[in-house]
Structure formats: C-alpha cells, structure tokens
Amino acid sequence: MTCRYSNKTKVSMIHRGLKTRIMLLLLAAALALPAVAQDEAAINAGKTLFRNNCAACHNKDMKNDLTGPALGGTEERWASYPKEDLYSWIRNSSAMINAGHPRATELWNQWKPTAMTAFPNLTDEEIANILAYIKCTYEGNCPGAAAAGGPAAQPVAPPTKPDNRLLYLGLFGILAILALVLARVLSNLNYMIQVKEGNAPAHRRTLVETLTSKGVIAFVIFALIVLGGYTTVNNAIKLGRQQGYQPEQPIKFSHATHAGLQKIDCQYCHDGARRSKQSVIPAANTCMNCHKAVKVGSQYGTAELTKIFASVGYDPSTDKYIPNYDQMPEADIEKLYKQWIKDNYLNDHDAMDAAGEELVQDQWDGIVKALKNPENGDRKIQGPIEWVRIHNLPDHAYFNHAQHVSVGQVECQTCHGKVEEMEVVQQFAPLSMGWCINCHRQTEVKFADNAYYKSYYARYHEEMAAGKRSKVTVEDIGGLECQKCHY
C-alpha cells in the first residue's frame, strides 16, 4: 500500500515537472487559443457545481444510475426539445411534470416516487457548465482527466523538501576529519615548541593512545548516556501513542467518497458527537438509509456493500429485509449473496467466465472475513461489523464529544484531520495530554453566545467590558484542572 502510494507520488511529480515545461513552451500557443482555456474553466466550474448540487443523487461516472438516473447523454435525450425545457427541468422538475411535458412525464413514470430536488437559483451559465462537465466526463475527454483518474480525493502530496541528510552527514565527516587534522597539527606544533624549548616528553602520544585516553572515553560514555537517555525518554513518551495509525478495516469504507465527494455531514452518521461522550460508529441500519438505493459502489462494486447487506440481512435483489435472518443457515446466505454478485457481474459481462467465478468467490470470502470473528467467538455472518478502533484514549482519560462539538463548536477536522480526504482513515492527532492542554490553552470559550457562560464568571465579564481582557480561554475557566478529564 505504502509502496504504491509513493510510486504514484513520484510519477505525478515527474509528470508535473514535464507539464510545467510543456506549459512554458506552449505559452504563446495557449494565449492564442483563449477559447480552450475558457472551456476548461467552464468545465471546472461545472465540476464544482455538480459536486455541490448533483452528486448526492447522481453517479459521478455519469454511466450508472444512483438515487437519480445516470446523467451521461442527457443533452442527446433532450435534443428533440428546446434547450430551455431541459434548463427549466433542472430548476424545477415537478412544475414540468405538472405541466405535462412529454419528456418530463416519461421520466416521472420511470423514477416515481423519487422527485428531483429543485434548484431555482442555478443560472443558465451554471447549468451550461454542469452540462459541459457531464458531457466531457461521459465521453472521457475532460481537460486534465488523466490527473483525476485516480481516486478523486487522493491528497496531492506537497512538494517534498530535498533530502539533505547525506549532505549534512558528509559535511559532518569533513568537519570531523578537519578537526582531527587540526588537532593533530596543533599537537605537532606544540610538540615542536616543546622540542625547541628542550623539554620534550620522552614519549609522544599516538592517535590510538589519545583516543583511548581517560578523558576521551569519559566524554564518549557521557555522550552515550545523554543520547541514550534522550532517546529512551522520547520513545517512552511515545509508548502507547499511535499517531498515524491506519489499520485495515473490515469494509473499505471511504470517507473521501462519503464525506468528501458526497458531502455527507459527519454528524449524519456519527450522531453521538453532538449529544454523547462517544461520537458513535453508525449502526449498519444507518448505512442502509442510502444503500437501499445505492446497491453497487462506485469504487468496489458489489465487494464492500454486500458486506453491509449480509450484516443486516437485506436482500438487494428483491429490495427486502430477510425475515428471521438470524436463523438463516450460512449456506443459504452464501447462495443469496453470491447470486447477487453474479447478477451484477453479468450486467457488465455477457456471460459467466472463469474470472467472474473467481470474483464471486473472492467477494464472498471478503464478506466472511469481515463479518466473522472466530477468535471472539463470533461464528456467524449475521450481526454487527467489528471495526478496528483507531482513536483510543487510556481508561483514566475522560473525553466527551458533546462538550467539544455542541458547546465548544470545535470542527471535527481540528482533531481528526481532513477525514473527508482520507480513503482509509488514520489517526491525525497524537491524542497526547500535551496536545489536549495546548488546545485548551489557546481555544477561546464561546463566552458571548452561551447563556451558561453569561450566568457565571462575573469578573471576566467585567474585565472584558472594561477592555482589560480580550478573550477567555478554556484554561481561564479551569480547563487545565486535573478533574476535568480524569475521574
């Protein structure tokens, strides 16, 4: 995983380097062709608009249906009507259906009862941009499409600093040799002076003797102790911390897709964050709110979503929950979901082949691996998904999400990083006490907005009114006291 990632980074770096040069060369040509640039700007604007408005229901590959139909080829399908009809459809579809527009009626019959959200604020230009983006995505000829080929939210690596370690090491070596040579020269000169003055020692210390002298050995031991102590303490502090921890999860759930691309609010799934100590990992039935409609994933197809269906007992072929799923024998479960995977394979392929069989078996094995946990005594497919916990606090530390999210109004990203850009979630913050304390020192309390704070802390209010105090931090109201977090 890490290997692949770094390779890709390198490739994209080279690519970018090349591109810059080509860009420089073609500068004049580019200036001569303003229309192309304009097109690209329009498509980029369209992309943003699509993500913000359409992507919640329409598949971004434009080829497959989601909650709403695949949008590729929209303009062709509406070609027999005036352009304004399509535009007003996008702005307010129900009005068109009520008006009895033939194309609108046809779509309604196909998709009812799901109605498309109205977007009355979209301008003609914006709609044109969206359509342009849809068209180029569908046809696969968007400018810069190659760069966007990978997962959309793959974080773009910042230009890495050149590795200077070798240089430093060389420099250090040269300096050390220089010091040695100079020391030697000095000692020779000293010796010569002594000889000149006629009180030269009988024996001149060799280099080996100097290096093995008591002073040098003492210095080396001292240095080793200091260095060793420093390393030990540093590592001891790190013991038990797992910043950057990025375990593999039973389901390849992508926050980049859900939070980043689809812009689903964090608290839609993590609904404990505003009212509980725990942010709460969503129950599988929360997933089902959307995935009753979205049954095939954009990245992994049936591989990951079927795991959720198998956990809760949802039959995606008939769109029904299986009664008495808890008692269903494993063989039946296997048959059911293998069939589902197979059916989906056949959607894209003409017939079952060896590769197809292998895929079905692989995906089924994945389901078994994700949902069974024999070492914990869980030998059933049915039942909860056991996620790997990433953020672990020690037992003696009390943390409350509601306090930070509801009262402190802290953004999730402050502690969890840009989760919306993470394909696989990793621990962003060190979760160390020093890190907590620093934040409590700096963060300002929402002193003016909350009636609770208004009722207390009379002195701070006076000081603020008198201009003696500009802000009240968490520390000021006792946020560094032990028993705020340890009890």
Partner 1 sequence: MKEQNKAVWIGVEHLTNDPAYQQAAQEEFKQLPLAEIAEEALSTETSRRDFLKYLGFSLGAVTVAAGCEIPVKKAVPYVIKPDTIVPGVATYYASTFVQGGDYCAVLVKTREGRPIKVEGNSLSKVTMGGTSARTQASVLSLYDTSRLDGPYRITNGKVDIPSKKRAAGPTWAEIDKEISGKLKPESRIRILAHTIMSPTSKKAIEDFKAKFPNTELVMYDPVSASALLEANETCFGQAVAPNYRFDLARVIVSFDADFLGTWISPIEYAAQYAQRRRITDIKKAEKSRHIQVESHMSLTGSNADHRILVKPSAQGAAIVTLYNAVAAATGRPAVSGPQLSSKQADKIKAAAKELLAHRGASLVVAGTNNTGEQILVNAINDALGNYGATIEFGAASLQRQGRDKDVRKLVRDMNAGQVDAIFIMDGANPAYDLPDAAQFAQGMSKVGLKVSFSGAPNETTVLCDYATPTHHYLESWGDAEPKRGYYSLIQPTIAPVFAALGRAGTRQAEESLLRWAAGETLNTGAEQPFLEYLKLHWEQTMFRQQSNFATFQAFWDSALHDGVFESPQFSIQVAFSGDVSAAAAKVRKPGQSALEISFFETVNMGGGQYAGNPWLQEMPDPVNRCVWGNHLAIPVKWEGGNEFTALENLNNDEIYGKADRVELEVSSKKQVLTVVRQFGQMDGTLGLALGYGRNVLGRMGNALGQTKVGADVYPWMSIDKDGNTQYYAEDAKIVGKTDRDEHFACVQYHHTMGVTARDENGKVIADESTGKPLNVDEKTIMTIGAGMQGGLTKRSIIYQGNLKDIEELAHHIEEKRTEAEALNQQTIYPYEQYSKEIYSQGHHWNMHVDLNACTGCGACQVACIAENNVPVVGRKEVHRHHEMSWLRIDRYYFGDYENPNVVYQPMMCQHCDNAPCENVCPVAATNHSSEGLNQMTYNRCIGTRYCANNCPYKVRRFNWLDYTTADLFSINENYMDDEHMYTSDGLPFYADNLTRMVLNPDVTVRSRGVIEKCSFCVQRIQEGKLTAKRESRALRDSDVKTACQTACPTGAIVFGDGNNNNSEVAKRLGNPLNYVVLEEINVRSSVTYAARVVNRDEAFEA
Residue numbers at the binding site for partner 1 (CB under 8 A): 239-240, 242, 247, 271-272, 275-278, 280-286, 311-312, 373, 376, 383-389, 392, 394-396, 398, 400-403, 406-407, 449-453, 455-460, 477-478, 481-484, 486-487
**Rounded to the nearest whole angstrom, what is the least distance from the CB of residue 398 to partner 1 in the complex?**
7
Closer Cβ to partner 1, 51 or 274, answer by number = 274
Query: d(Cα 444, Cα 455) in Å, to the nearest integer?
Result: 17
Query: d(Cα 8, Cα 15) in Å, to the nearest integer?
Result: 10
**Rounded to the nearest whole angstrom, what is the least distance from the CB of residue 487 to partner 1 in the complex?**
5
Closer Cβ to partner 1, 231 or 450, answer by number = 450
Closer Cβ to partner 1, 131 or 333, answer by number = 333
- Kind and range of the H or E run holding 437: helix 433-442
Closer Cβ to partner 1, 298 or 400, answer by number = 400
Closer Cβ to partner 1, 331 or 458, answer by number = 458
Closer Cβ to partner 1, 170 or 384, answer by number = 384
Contact between residue 142 and residue 59 where contact means Cβ atoms under 8 Å apart: no
**Rounded to the nearest whole angstrom, what is the least distance from the CB of residue 431 to partner 1 in the complex?**
12
Query: d(Cα 168, Cα 152) in Å, to the nearest integer?
Result: 38
Residue 66 CB-density burial (10 A; 0-12 exposed, 13-18 middle, 19+ buried): buried
**Rounded to the nearest whole angstrom, what is the least distance from the CB of residue 383 to partner 1 in the complex?**
6
Tokens of 134: 């849809």
Contact between residue 410 and residue 441 where contact means Cβ atoms under 8 Å apart: no
How many CB atoms within 10 Å of residue 59?
20
**Rounded to the nearest whole angstrom, what is the least distance from the CB of residue 220 to partner 1 in the complex?**
26
Start-to-end Cα distance in the chain: 41
**Which residue in 259, 195, 251, 269 sits closest to 51, CA to CA?**
259
Residues with Cβ within 8 Å of residue 479, at least 6 apart in sequence = 440, 473
Contact between residue 43 and residue 143 where contact means Cβ atoms under 8 Å apart: yes
CA of 363: how far to CAs of 2, 272, 357, 359, in Å? 23, 32, 10, 6
**Rounded to the nearest whole angstrom, what is the least distance from the CB of residue 405 to partner 1 in the complex?**
10
Residue 52, sorted as left (phi over 0), alpha (psi -120 to 50) or beta, turns out to be alpha
Contact between residue 370 and residue 385 where contact means Cβ atoms under 8 Å apart: yes
**Rounded to the nearest whole angstrom, what is the least distance from the CB of residue 390 to partner 1 in the complex?**
9
**Rounded to the nearest whole angstrom, what is the least distance from the CB of residue 38 to partner 1 in the complex?**
49
Closer Cβ to partner 1, 133 or 314, answer by number = 314
Closer Cβ to partner 1, 138 or 460, answer by number = 460
